[in-house]
Every structure is written in C-alpha cells, then in structure tokens.
Chain A
Amino acid sequence: MLFASVTIASDIAVDIEVAQTVGFGIIAALMVAGALNVVLSKNVVHAALSLVMVMSGAAAQYLLLAAEFVAVTQVLIYVGSVMVLFLFGVMLTRAKLGKDTDLNNHNGWALGLPISLLLLGVMVYALIDGFDDTRISGSGAGTIGSSANVLLSDRIFSTYALPFWALSFVLLAAVIGAIVLARKD
C-alpha cells in the first residue's frame, strides 16, 4: 500500500498527506499483527487481549476517516463491553491458564490457509482493479466536528428511524434470550 501511494505521488505531484498515511501504516501493521495473534495464539486470554488491540486500532482508523462518533462508540461498545463479555466467557468456561494445545482443529490449517489466501487474492485483485488510485481526503473536505455529528443524528432519527426502532427490538430480544439461555434453573 505504501509503495503504491509513493509511486503514484511521484507521478502526480499532489498532496499525499504524509502524516496520515504514515499513521495509517503503523496502526494497520499493529492491527494485522493483533489479528494474526487472535487466530494463532495458543493462549485464550492472549487472544482476547490481542482482539482489544485490533478493535482500538479500528477506532483509530475511524478517526482517520473523520468518523469520530463511530470511533467513540467503537471504544465504548467493543473495547468496553464486548471484551468484558469475552473475558467472562473465557473465565466461565474454565479455559486453561497458560498454553492450551487443544484449541485448533486437527489439520485445520490445511483447509483454512488455501481458502483464506484465495479469498484474499481475489478481493485484493478486485480492489486494485476497481479503485486503482481513487483518493479520499483525510481532512478538509466535508463537515468535521460537531456539525457532522448533528447531521449523523438527524440521519438516524429521520431516514433511518425505522431500522433504529427495529434495532431496539433486536436488543430487547437479545437481552431476554441471553437471560433465558444462561439461567441456572
């Protein structure tokens, strides 16, 4: 990604927003490392804590994309509550402390590696083919700050009011379902 942006920038002398691109690269590398640790780690708690890194990195990427309300929501919901749920799940299912050798399917990588690499190849090819050097501005264009949040909330409560209403039923059903499933008697 970085070398692609550098070669394009040398062709067309436009602003390449060096600071944002370098920040993106560092955060993206941390996210990919964390994600790999989630799927490869032999320790369940380490996998859960690596997931925190991926989710925090995603919140930082949302900030780079000028979606600060979604970034704050991501930190509150994912890093705050979903991770606590996962750690409770790890604790209540009595995961082994330290290394656990029985986390993966036997020879699962022989199926998983070709499928995911094929998927990655197809998707990256399609993306490079479709959005070759389409640019987005990291800052400047569009509304930034509190006016963007006003527009977002207007959108939720006007155009997308019906899905919002339906979502409240989904959450209610999920809460009742979780209580019914997890109750002891």
Chain B
Amino acid sequence: MLINQFLVLGAVLFCIGVYGVIVRKNAVLVLMSIELILNSVNINLLAFDRLNGGNDGAVFALYIIAVAAAEVGVGLAMVLLIFRNRKTISLDDLSEMKG
C-alpha cells in the first residue's frame, strides 16, 4: 500500500470538514464537522506511525480521541445552554460581539 492513499484520504476528509465548518449555521452540525477534521488527523497520525515503525502515532491518536470526547461534551453543554437562553442554536444570531 502507498502511504499517500491514507494521507490523501485524510486531506479530503479535512477539507470536507472545513467546508462544513464554514457553511453550516446550526451549532450541532458545526461540531460534527469538527469531528470530521479530528478523524482525518488521526488517520494521518496512524499512517505515519506505520511508516516510521514506532508506536508514538498511536499514542497521539488515543490522546486526540480522549480530548475530542471532552471537547464534544463541553461543546454540546454550551450549545444546550445557548438554546435554553435564546431558543435558537443558529450561530448567526450570536452577534453581540459585533461592533
């Protein structure tokens, strides 16, 4: 197998995730796109791990999975809080920071 198979797959998933983050307005869907990006990074790490023959990449991938789980938990708690206060999770409506 070529290593580029895995790296290009990771690049494609990363770009789809970036597109989702830019285009989506619903906060839950933006969090889902961020998960796509994190998954593509994990594929890259494990491909390089296989290339170099160590297991550092697998350790990093496990840590990324743990941090991503924590991020989703806190992120969805924030989304629920916003929904409770404003009855919407549309990111366009959160514009108090605009001058």
A105 to chain B, nearest CB (A): 5
List residues of B (57-80) whose CB comes within 8 Å of A's CBs.
58-59, 61-63, 65-74, 76-80
Contact B25 A142 (CB under 8 A): no
A128 to B6, CA, bound (A): 12
Please count how many residues in chain A sit with their CB below 8 Å of the partner chain's CB atoms: 94
Interface contacts beyond A93-B89, A119-B15: sample of 13 additional A-B pairs, CB < 8 Å, sorted by A: A5-B2, A24-B5, A39-B19, A62-B43, A66-B50, A73-B65, A94-B83, A115-B19, A135-B2, A136-B51, A141-B53, A151-B55, A174-B74
Write the A77-90 contact mask toward B (1 if CB under 8 angstroms, else 0). Answer: 11001100110111
CB atoms of B59 and A44 under 8 A apart: no
A127, B11: Cβ atoms under 8 Å?
Answer: yes
Q: Is B4 an interface residue (CB 8 A)?
A: yes
Task: Pick from B27, B42, B90 the residue with the most CB of A within 10 Å.
Answer: B42
Contact with A along B26-45 (1 / 0, CB 8 A): 11110111011001001100
Q: Which residues of A contact B (CB under 8 A)?
A: 1, 4-5, 8, 16-17, 20-21, 24, 28, 31-32, 35-36, 38-39, 44, 47-48, 51, 54-55, 58, 61-62, 64-67, 69-70, 73-74, 77-78, 81-82, 85-86, 88-90, 92-95, 100, 102-105, 108-109, 111-113, 115-117, 119-120, 123-124, 127-128, 131-138, 141-142, 148, 151-152, 155-156, 160, 163-164, 167, 170-171, 173-175, 177-179, 181-182
A55 vs B32: C-alpha distance in the bound complex, in angstroms? Answer: 11
Q: Please state if B46 and A65 are interface contacts (CB–CB under 8 Å).
A: yes
Q: Which residues of B contact A105 (CB under 8 A)?
A: 22-25, 92
Residue of B nearest to A166 (CB): B63
Q: Select B63's contact among A109, A167, A175, beta carbons within 8 Å.
A: A167
Instruction: Select from chain B the residue with minimum beta-carbon distance to A78.
Output: B65
Where chain B touches its partner, the secondary structure class is helix
Sample (17) of A-B pairs whose CB atoms are under 8 Å apart: A21-B5, A32-B13, A47-B29, A55-B39, A61-B43, A62-B61, A67-B46, A70-B42, A86-B31, A116-B22, A120-B15, A131-B4, A134-B2, A136-B1, A160-B63, A163-B63, A181-B77
Number of interface residues of B (CB under 8 A): 68
Is the CB of B3 closer than 8 A to any CB of chain A?
yes
